């Protein structure tokens, strides 16, 4: 039993973070630093090797004993029980394979284990060297795959856009209430979604006071969404998806346009959502016609859903809002860890949004 400031007589799980100094890594550090059953024991950041976390992130002054390490796989495995990989696509796969052989739990926040099909992965991302792990990996959208996650050693944490879209559409597809051939998704993301690396498109002067669509028709989250939407619908689903960059630090909002099957009323739709998410703490359904805003989920692990529509024409509009760095990344990863270790799912995540 580990007795420390987080609790006396509480069994602590040793946690590692690889890629600890990006935006998502920093959120993992923040969330895990207040988790009563997680002890951060190993952090990797080769860019800041040897530097204290508290010097890099003064808001995390309580982590003054944590020092960034270079990637040493044996040391990482020796000092952890579960490892979060907050890395670009293509970088996690070999690290994950090593850790799994050492009996560790792995939660990958990149794209390496989100897709089921090697050909699809390689079309969108390039070569994959660990195809044998595809059947082992569980897609980590907590509200939809909870039972599989409980038994998982390897979790592919969902992308931020897919989280908004899948939670937004799941009740309709499961109950076959909409036409699946003409789903249109208009999504908007804050600039932190592009990561912390230098990119001229995310310089302040380039993205402030403007709004732009990007990667239209070729965004890498599209095959992930179509894969999971097709599972929900039990038939092939194709979508029209357009992402936008907005001058906001964090936050994501997806507006989804669908056509109801004939005879389906808006009241039936609302009840379907209310029933589907009745037991889901982190999914909040607004009253009909009241739509979410990103500020109501900022710095929280909640996904807010709102519905509006035109019953006469059979059109339905779903609005889904999350914090892209939390429910869209680090918070969902911690939620996955809680499920794996059979802890209360909201442990370390039960905090409201910050307002204003």
Please tell me the predicted confidence (pLDDT) of residue 312: 84
Q: Averaged over 262-291, what is the pLDDT? A: 96
The span from the CA of 6 to the CA of 183, in Å, is 46
The yes-or-no verdict on residue 3 having pLDDT over 70 is no
Q: Are 121 and 115 in contact (CB under 8 A)?
A: yes
Please tell me the predicted confidence (pLDDT) of residue 198: 74
End-to-end Cα separation, the chain, in angstroms: 41
Q: Averaged over 259-277, what is the pLDDT? A: 96
How confident is residue 202, by pLDDT bands cut at 50, 70 and 90?
confident
Q: Are 285 and 277 in contact (CB under 8 A)?
A: yes
Q: Are 32 and 53 in contact (CB under 8 A)?
A: no
Query: Residue 347 has which token pair?
Result: 């442990």
The span from the CA of 216 to the CA of 85, in Å, is 28
> Cis before residue 356, ω within 30 degrees of 0?
yes
The span from the CA of 193 to the CA of 160, in Å, is 8
Q: Averaged over 155-181, what is the pLDDT? A: 97
Q: Averaged over 139-152, what is the pLDDT? A: 98
Please tell me the predicted confidence (pLDDT) of residue 222: 95
Q: Which CATH class is domain 2-136?
A: alpha beta
Out of 4-8, 20-24, 49-53, 210-214, least confident range: 4-8
CATH topology match: 2-136 vs 161-324: no
pLDDT tens, residue by residue, 223-233: 999 999 999 99
Q: How far is CA 285 from CA 155, 164, 213, 224, 306, in A?
A: 27, 13, 28, 24, 6
**Secondary structure (H, E, C), 104-173:** CEEEECCCCCCCCCHHHHHHHCCCCCCHHHCCCCEECCHHHHHHHHHCCCEEECCCHHHHHHHHHHHHHH
pLDDT tens, residue by residue, 74-102: 999 999 999 999 999 999 999 999 999 99
pTM listed for this prediction: 0.95
How confident is residue 330, by pLDDT bands cut at 50, 70 and 90?
very high
Kindly state the percentage of the chain with pLDDT values over 90: 87
Please tell me the predicted confidence (pLDDT) of residue 318: 98
The residues that bridge with 106 in the sheet, in sequence order, are 83, 154
Sign of the C-alpha dihedral computed for residues 18, 22, 24 and 25 taken in this order: positive
Out of 50-64, 138-152, 190-204, least confident range: 190-204
The span from the CA of 56 to the CA of 310, in Å, is 51
Kindly report the number of other CB atoms within 10 A of residue 61's CB atom.
11
pLDDT tens, residue by residue, 237-254: 999 999 999 999 999 999
Q: Are 138 and 148 in contact (CB under 8 A)?
A: yes
Q: Are 298 and 323 in contact (CB under 8 A)?
A: yes
Sequence-separated (6 or more) residues with CB below 8 Å from residue 211: 188, 244, 245, 246, 247
Please tell me the predicted confidence (pLDDT) of residue 194: 85
How confident is residue 1, by pLDDT bands cut at 50, 70 and 90?
very low
Q: Are 54 and 79 in contact (CB under 8 A)?
A: no
Q: How far is CA 340 from CA 83, 90, 138, in A?
A: 12, 24, 11
Please tell me the predicted confidence (pLDDT) of residue 8: 57
Closest-CA residue to 348 (of 6, 74, 5): 6
The yes-or-no verdict on residue 2 having pLDDT over 60 is no
DSSP annotation of 34 reads: T
User: Residue ranges per domain, the chain?
Assistant: 2-136, 161-324
Please tell me the predicted confidence (pLDDT) of residue 9: 61
Q: Averaged over 61-83, what is the pLDDT? A: 97
Out of 2-11, 155-164, 249-258, 279-288, least confident range: 2-11
pLDDT higher at 207 or 302: 302
The yes-or-no verdict on residue 275 having pLDDT over 50 is yes
CATH of region 161-324 = 3.30.360.10
Out of 148-162, 206-220, 237-251, 322-336, least confident range: 206-220
Please tell me the predicted confidence (pLDDT) of residue 4: 46
Q: What residues are labeled active site?
A: 160
The residues that bridge with 260 in the sheet, in sequence order, are 178
């Amino acid at each position: 039993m580990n007795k420390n400031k987080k609790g006396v007589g509480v069994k602590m799980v040793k946690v590692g973070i690889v890629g600890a100094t990006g935006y998502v890594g920093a959120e993992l550090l923040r969330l895990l630093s207040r988790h009563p059953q997680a002890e951060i024991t190993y952090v990797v950041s080769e860019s800041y090797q040897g530097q204290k976390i508290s010097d890099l992130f003064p808001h995390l002054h309580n982590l003054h004993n944590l020092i960034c390490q270079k990637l040493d796989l044996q040391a990482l495995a020796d000092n952890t029980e579960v490892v979060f990989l907050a890395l670009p696509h293509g970088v996690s796969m070999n690290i994950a394979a090593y850790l799994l052989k050492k009996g560790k739990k792995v939660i990958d926040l990149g794209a390496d284990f989100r897709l089921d099909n090697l050909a699809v992965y390689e079309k969108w991302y390039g070569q994959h060297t660990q195809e044998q792990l595809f059947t082992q990996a569980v897609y980590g959208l907590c509200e939809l795959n909870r039972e599989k996650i409980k038994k998982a050693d390897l979790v592919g944490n969902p992308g931020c856009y897919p989280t908004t879209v899948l939670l937004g559409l799941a009740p309709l597809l499961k109950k076959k209430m909409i036409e699946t051939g003409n789903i249109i998704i208009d999504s908007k993301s804050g600039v932190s979604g592009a990561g912390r690396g230098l990119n001229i498109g995310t310089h302040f002067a380039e993205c402030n006071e403007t709004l732009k669509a990007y990667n239209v028709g070729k965004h890498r989250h599209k095959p992930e969404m179509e894969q999971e939407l097709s599972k929900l619908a039990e038939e092939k689903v194709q979508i029209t998806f357009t992402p936008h960059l907005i001058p906001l630090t964090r936050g994501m909002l997806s507006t989804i346009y669908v056509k109801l099957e004939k005879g389906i009323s808006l009241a039936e739709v609302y009840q379907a959502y209310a029933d589907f998410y009745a037991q889901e703490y982190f999914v909040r359904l607004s009253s009909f016609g009241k739509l979410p805003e990103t500020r109501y989920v900022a710095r929280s692990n909640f996904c807010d859903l709102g519905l509006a529509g035109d019953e006469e024409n059979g059109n339905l509009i779903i609005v889904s809002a999350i914090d892209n760095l939390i429910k869209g990344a680090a918070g969902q990863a911690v939620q996955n860890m809680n499920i794996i270790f059979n802890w209360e799912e909201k442990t370390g995540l039960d905090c409201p949004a910050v307002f204003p």
